[in-house]
A = this chain, B = another copy of it.
């Protein structure tokens, strides 16, 4: 009797385990079978196998994701820049001086060539004029309203629809395996936090990004945090490992990026003992998304492409590794 009970229990556990394994494989339905998917799944199995040599305790299962070009699209320009452009247009009536002042004039005239000519300094001016001078609550409301109404110029869908379905699945899959998932983006931390929780399941405290300085102020007994027109931190390139150390204080074991802005983040993550995963998403699908790498003004990928093989980083081809790019439109 006892033996039969034990056998029954073992059979039950086996069914359960098979079910878990099958359920887990099903967590990545938009990924085609191939070396990229196999590498990701193999890594996750290795670090979660309690008896295995590559086992990593759940507290150290930190996975970091770039956002622009890795979790959502970034063409024809970073979506946050498109937000700044829309904001300049919306705020123009209260800024008559912008009609004659660059880079604002370029934006109002729709003259992208003149805007590009204004360079980094011009972009910084745009960002400050549209991202500073209000409280953090006010800024979050402005971003939220914009995301709810704005549409991508070419794809004509809300920007938050232009997230990558396979990456959403990957985030869920990692979390189902005890990973803590972080965004580590060159984009603005407070811009990202508005939609990261709803769209990616990543709460505000797991979003790392570029920031401007803020000031604590009490007006009529009501405290507020006011956004200042001053750069605080640029979370890009060598800034990414620094942001990771600052916010997380632990070295990740998996990193996902798409451009040379993510190079140091992948390097920091993977140049350490133990099982490590570095992944680069390649934009090679002009039909369903965009195709660009070495010569792009946005999301340039050259060094990462050259060094990926020697560094053991996995290249994901949007074209051949993904059977779906964007989520099926919601009704």
The reply to whether the CB of A205 lies closer than 8 angstroms to some CB of chain B is: yes
B189 touches A214 (CB 8 A): no
The listed residue (B59, B180, B193, B249) touching A189 by CB distance below 8 A is B249
B211 touches A250 (CB 8 A): no
The reply to whether the CB of A32 lies closer than 8 angstroms to some CB of chain B is: no
Among residues of B, the one whose C-beta sits closest to the C-beta of A137 is B251
- Shortest Cβ gap from A51 to chain B (Å): 25
The reply to whether the CB of A285 lies closer than 8 angstroms to some CB of chain B is: no
- Shortest Cβ gap from A265 to chain B (Å): 10
Among residues of B, the one whose C-beta sits closest to the C-beta of A180 is B205
- Shortest Cβ gap from A197 to chain B (Å): 8
Cα A164 to Cα B14 with chains together (Å) = 47
The reply to whether the CB of A248 lies closer than 8 angstroms to some CB of chain B is: yes
The reply to whether the CB of A68 lies closer than 8 angstroms to some CB of chain B is: no
Contact with B along A244-268 (1 / 0, CB 8 A): 0111111000000000000010011
B211 touches A249 (CB 8 A): no
B193 touches A249 (CB 8 A): yes
Tell me the residues in window 214-240 of chain A with beta carbons closer than 8 Å to chain B beta carbons: 214-216, 218, 221-223, 225, 238-239
Cα A241 to Cα B216 with chains together (Å) = 7
Among residues of B, the one whose C-beta sits closest to the C-beta of A241 is B216
How many protomers of this protein does the assembly include? 2
- Shortest Cβ gap from A182 to chain B (Å): 9
The listed residue (B223, B248, B271) touching A223 by CB distance below 8 A is B271
The reply to whether the CB of A46 lies closer than 8 angstroms to some CB of chain B is: no
Among residues of B, the one whose C-beta sits closest to the C-beta of A250 is B204
24 A-B residue pairs with Cβ-Cβ distance under 8 Å, sorted by A, are A59-B203, A136-B245, A193-B249, A204-B248, A204-B249, A204-B250, A205-B205, A205-B247, A205-B248, A205-B249, A214-B245, A214-B246, A215-B238, A216-B241, A216-B264, A216-B268, A222-B271, A223-B241, A223-B264, A223-B267, A223-B268, A225-B242, A225-B245, A247-B247
Q: Which residues of A come within 8 Å of B, CB atoms? A: 59, 136, 180, 189-190, 193, 203-205, 207, 211, 214-216, 218, 221-223, 225, 238-239, 241-242, 245-250, 264, 267-268, 271
Having A214-B242, A216-B239, A225-B242, one finds 5 other A-B pairs with CB under 8 Å, namely: A214-B245, A222-B271, A223-B267, A223-B271, A225-B245
